[in-house]
Structure 1
Amino acid sequence: MPSHENRPITDLGTLKALAHPLRMRLYRGLCVARTATASHLADQVDEAVSLVSYHLRKLAEHGLIEEARPQSADGRERWWQPASDGVTIRAENFRDEPEQVAAHLVATRLFHDQRADMYRRYLDERATWGAEWNSAAPDSESLLRLTAAELTELRAELLVLARKYEARGRAAEADGDTEGRENVALHVNGFPFRV
């Protein structure tokens, strides 16, 4: 049964396992689907089932995903689910050695590149979503003057707000209310900069 908390990733091996482009796409797809087989995920990422199965096993070896209860009567199918609601990766856990710093940087860039690709895909397909979704989708930038402590507080408040809406959506779906619901990615970056 998956944990309802984000799993903190603090070891280099798990970070490297997740920082593989295909594995991250599979992990993200599994987080959206909640349960899936290698065949389902292979269709999503347009890769061979055998390759997807291999990478799912690698994610499972690091405790990022786990076997799920079968969702069909076909006993040959192996179902997977995320082992937690998500992961948390903090730079402070990867600054002791140059290899850790480098691995964290590579992983962070991969995650941000994939997020940017998701957003670019939305922009390319925006016309197909209709006026209601286009009006609802936020696209803003705020340039703030904060201390590190205030940015930490803002991050925590945004996370609480996002989790509130995630819980609301999951509860509605559990009650069968799927009308008008779509997967929504919310990417928030806050970082210091100098002009």
Structure 2
Amino acid sequence: MASNDSRRVSDLDTLKAFGHPLRMRLYRALYIARRATASQLAEQVDEQVSLVSYHLRKLADHGLIEAAEGQGTDGRERWWQPASKGLNFHDEDFSDAPEKVATHAAVGRLSFDQHIELYRRFLDAHQAWQPEWRSASFASEYLARLTAEELAGLGREMHELIDRYEAAGRAREEAGDTEGRENVALHLYGFPFRT
């Protein structure tokens, strides 16, 4: 990845470019793979290579992904990689116009729908996983009474904790410790509600 920092997406055009169901799936698949070709990603998302190539170019046009230098041996197929460690979307960047508000909400709902589908697939295949993975997986709900400042602090601490685990896991994997490693999804939401 070109940048070790997360990218804050703050413009409507980039938000719209990312807010396509296939592009979200491609970004997620590429983020996990770190580097991949359109053919490899097409196989993962079960789509035509030409369609995947088109959507990868759209993601690249907005700086969300980039060409991965030094990959491949024959030069016939382009390799891609995420352009940053991850993406962040903040409400305050999209709250000054109705179209921005609506697009931000739509992208959030689409992302949430994809999270739900990913978790449903896990639940449907739960028994196919080894006992240690079934035991290690978790789903929790916590209900707390916090201020906005406390919620923001909790979010920062959780992100820092996950970043440490992810960095350590990637470092071990790059050092050759690949035995027993799987892709793991962590979906965190912290939001106010009233009963």
Q: Normalized against structure 2, the TM-score is what?
A: 0.98
| Alignment: residue pair count | 195
1:104 aligns with 2:137: no
Gaps of 5+ in 1: none
For residues 2-151 of structure 1, the aligned pairs below 5 Å read 2-151=2-151
Gaps of 5+ in 2: none
Q: Supply the distance in 1 between the matched residues of 2:139 and 2:106 (Cα, whole angstroms).
A: 26
Q: Supply the distance in 1 between the matched residues of 2:138 and 2:151 (Cα, whole angstroms).
A: 20
Secondary structure of 2:126 counterpart: helix
Contact 1:70/1:78 (<8 A) preserved:
no
Q: Supply the distance in 2 between the matched residues of 1:63 and 1:74 (Cα, whole angstroms).
A: 25
Q: Supply the distance in 1 between the matched residues of 2:156 and 2:138 (Cα, whole angstroms).
A: 20
Q: Supply the distance in 2 between the matched residues of 1:70 and 1:115 (Cα, whole angstroms).
A: 33
1:181 aligns with 2:191: no
Aligned residues: percent identity? 62
Shifted more, 63-72 versus 181-190: the winner is 63-72
| C-alpha deviation, 1:73, in angstroms | 1.2
Q: Supply the distance in 2 between the matched residues of 1:149 and 1:73 (Cα, whole angstroms).
A: 51
Secondary structure of 2:129 counterpart: helix
Q: Supply the distance in 2 between the matched residues of 1:23 and 1:143 (Cα, whole angstroms).
A: 33
Instruction: Kindly report the root-mean-square deviation, in angstroms, between the aligned alpha carbons of the 2 structures.
Output: 0.8
Contact 1:7/1:84 (<8 A) preserved:
yes
- Cα offsets for 1:76-107 (capped at 9, x unmatched): 01000000011000111000000000000000
Task: Look up the equivalent residue of 2:90 and give its one-letter code.
Answer: R
Q: Supply the distance in 2 between the matched residues of 1:165 and 1:2 (Cα, whole angstroms).
A: 20
Task: Look up the equivalent residue of 2:193 and give its one-letter code.
Answer: F
Q: Normalized against structure 1, the TM-score is what?
A: 0.98
- Which position in structure 2 is the counterpart of 1:163? 163
